[in-house]
Amino acid sequence: MTASFRSSRYSTKKRVLVTGGAGFIGSHLCARLLEAGNQVLCVDNFFTGTRGNVSDLLDHPEFELMRHDVTIPLFVEVDEIYNLACPASPVHYQFDPVQTTKTSVVGAVNMLGLSKRLKVPILQASTSEVYGDPAIHPQTEDYWGNVNPIGPRSCYDEGKRCAETLFFDYRRQHGLAIKVIRIFNTYGPHMHPNDGRVVSNFIVQALQGEDITIYGDGKQTRSFCYVDDLVCGMMAMMASADDVTGPINLGNPGEFTMLELAQAVIELTGSSSKLVYRPLPQDDPRQRQPDISRARDQLGWDVSVPLREGLVKTIDYFRALIAQA
């Protein structure tokens, strides 16, 4: 689909909107888009995103930062839209669950409306949480999921599921060029130190010499994708043919137990931290692993950063962050 803004106005460069652009993943995406020669409009309400995440980009002549909440309509001129706006960790999305649902659902309506008006492609950052506590393993995009619609995690899980519904209905009804990806556990620099996610939790606890908290028996599994790999997949999805709509899983199919992750973090940090066990939170999935066959076939995308290599980079980031505190 041809972008009306770029083709008829001032620049031959694409102007790309990234909502949630000052967040963990969004900030890396903004940097990569700039490296690729684009103009970037970063929009964030700074609930979980921080100005510090994009501080290195503020002086870039093609970067613009705007404080805005996607639950309010946005009137800008752009050529592509990446919709990442939504708190993504339980600590943050459960803080104000009604607002979390509104961000996913009303935010999607507003961004889809912008895409419709401008006739430009839009990518939705959905999540592996749409699979809930999966009854099949690994998870393929054809699996409809096992989600509790009224639990404490539902504001995020069901909000993202509804956003996917809206994206495909807008395509069917209005012919929008949509792209939907489902992001599996991602980690790397710019993670919030208090976001409650397992990688940041373990690293911060280990670096501070605190006990490492294991929920449940520690045998539940996750698959961890380094943020650079994820961003490459997102950009490959946006560049794909119009008929590649997704949903497409993006994640690292390597599967690790929480105990294996904790032991790796202790080893790589040189920490003397001990493991302590707490009850498993309600609706916490027992296993999570993406089938990325579709991403490999349709996008030519695959992961390249092994877990230990990514952990070293993430540990270095948190070590520097803690030293500055």
Tens digits of residue pLDDT in 86-138: 987 677 778 889 999 999 999 999 999 999 999 999 999 999 999 998 999 99
Per-residue model confidence (pLDDT) at position 158: 96
Q: In whole angstroms, give the CA distance from residue 121 to residue 78.
A: 10
Give me the sign of the Cα torsion angle 198, 204, 206, 212: negative
CATH number of the domain encompassing residue 249: 3.40.50.720
Per-residue model confidence (pLDDT) at position 283: 67
CA dihedral 291, 292, 293, 297 (to 10 degrees): 170
* pLDDT under 50: residue ranges of the chain: 1-5, 7-9
Per-residue model confidence (pLDDT) at position 11: 62
E-strand spans in the chain?
15-19, 39-44, 63-67, 80-83, 122-127, 178-183, 186-187, 212-215, 221-222, 225-226, 248-250, 256-257, 275-278
In a domain, 22, yes or no: yes
Per-residue model confidence (pLDDT) at position 3: 45
In a domain, 131, yes or no: yes
Q: In whole angstroms, give the CA distance from residue 80 to residue 313.
A: 30
The pTM (predicted TM-score) of the whole model is 0.93
For the chain, how many structural domains are there in total? Answer: 1
Find the domain containing 20 and state its range.
13-187+226-253+289-304
Per-residue model confidence (pLDDT) at position 90: 75
In a domain, 80, yes or no: yes
Per-residue model confidence (pLDDT) at position 287: 83
In a domain, 268, yes or no: no
Pick from 88, 100, 112: which is nearest to 17 by CA? 112
User: In whole angstroms, what separates CA 176 from the centre of its chain?
Assistant: 22
Q: Residues with catalytic annotation?
A: 156
Asked if 37 and 13 count as a contact pair (C-beta separation under 8 A), the reply is: yes
